[in-house]
Amino acid sequence: MTKKSTTLTIRDVAKNAGVSVATVSRYMNRSGPVSKETGERISRVMLELNYSPHAVARQLATQRKQAVGLLITDMMMDFFSPLVNGVFSVTTENSYNLLVAISKPEMRDKGSACPVGPQNTDGTLIFANSLTDEQLVELCKTGFPVVLLYRTPPPNLNVPYVAVENSDSSRKLIDHLIEAHDRKRIMYIKGPSDQEDSLWRELGYRASLEAHGLSIDEALILPGEFGHQAAYQSLHDYLSQGARDFDAIFTGNDDSAVGILTALEEAGLRVPEDVSVVGFDDFRLAPFLNPPLTTVRAPTEQVGRIAAGQLTKLLQGMPIEQKVILPTEIILRRSCGCDYQTPGPMNYQQRITSITQNPDLP
């Protein structure tokens, strides 16, 4: 069952921290001196209670920004378009402006403050690895409303999150390559090492190989960074060594599949006759690739809508679901070796039943 948060007030924080309401208010608003020991105690209580500053915001209505933030790692990848659209649809309905910012690894390494935080928004959505654990804890110290996308919170940080099912669908996709197409040397093009989606998908890949008694060749797990250029370069470098000891490739996402298909074509390898290729996400160009891409359909826009809805509830002092895992669906097309006709981009010949890790969710 999902956990529900309860509505808390600044008085609850003061009582649990053993200080006055005025002291908590001074700490949260930086309006007066608070000792380091007292501040740390207040911060710890706020994290334990999952206290959101919406109560203070109601008391200090003039400080409302009427804006919601979204922190992501890229704007060029096709993946982010439906995600942003989903968030925007909800923030618009609730009369919030949406501020979108990009956090690159070099920015995170410098330990810079979150560009969409208390200084310019009432609450923020944080995508995957766009902040380090340390930066995320620092952002949440004063109870600033945060909802995470595609990642779980760090230990001892009670922050809601929204993600999709990864491992079971990945396992079933590899099962299909083995059982339906007799593929036995399957390569995995992984994403960034600090993104949980990539790790879960790799776990599904490994679980399928082990279940079928196939050895896991670590040399067939290549970096792809969830991008077509990085994936292309990894496979190009592998093939340039003369190695063609694989008969299928599972790309960590569909953007990577674009680079993989290009590298295979340059090497004179046919898809799916010589090598089956499958992806993850079902981005908008997947049915139009040559050949059309077998992939896992993930409800990216719905993730954006639900996460923005959760954040809106936090700001309004309403109960929320602490954990939401959305189901995914395998879409079979010609790149794996299945028969596939293309009468239209939304008419698919075959599907595998929807999968979810959390049976309590619809």
Indicate the number of domains in the chain: 2
What is the domain-level CATH number for residue 16?
Answer: 1.10.260.40
Bridge-based pairing of strands 328-332 and 350-355 is antiparallel
Model pLDDT for residues 320-349, shown as the tens digit of each residue: 999 999 999 999 999 999 987 553 433 333
The two tokens of residue 228 are 């077509």
**Sign of the CA dihedral running 34, 39, 45, 46:** positive
Domain stops at, among 11, 26, 51: 51
Q: Which residues of the chain have pLDDT under 70?
A: 1-7, 29-32, 52-63, 105-112, 341-362
> Looking at the domain assignment, is residue 11 inside a domain?
yes
- The residue behind tokens 């309905």 is 93
- Rounded Cα distance between 164 and 79, Å, is 14
> Looking at the domain assignment, is residue 108 inside a domain?
no
> Looking at the domain assignment, is residue 153 inside a domain?
no
What is the domain-level CATH number for residue 207?
Answer: 3.40.50.2300
Query: What pLDDT sits at residue 156?
Result: 85
Peptide bond into 272 cis (omega under 30): yes
Give the relative orientation of helices 228-240 and 254-266 as an angle to the nearest 10 degrees.
30
The two tokens of residue 318 are 């309403």
Report how far apart the first and last C-alpha atoms of the chain are (Å, whole number): 12
Query: What pLDDT sits at residue 231?
Result: 98
Query: What pLDDT sits at residue 11?
Result: 85
> Looking at the domain assignment, is residue 118 inside a domain?
no
Strand order in the sheet with 221-223: 221-223, 186-190, 248-251, 276-278
Query: What pLDDT sits at residue 61?
Result: 43
- Rounded Cα distance between 213 and 219, Å, is 18
Structural domain span for residue 42: 1-51
Query: What pLDDT sits at residue 282?
Result: 97
Please provide residue 4's backbone torsions phi and psi, each rounded to the nearest 5 degrees.
-105, 140
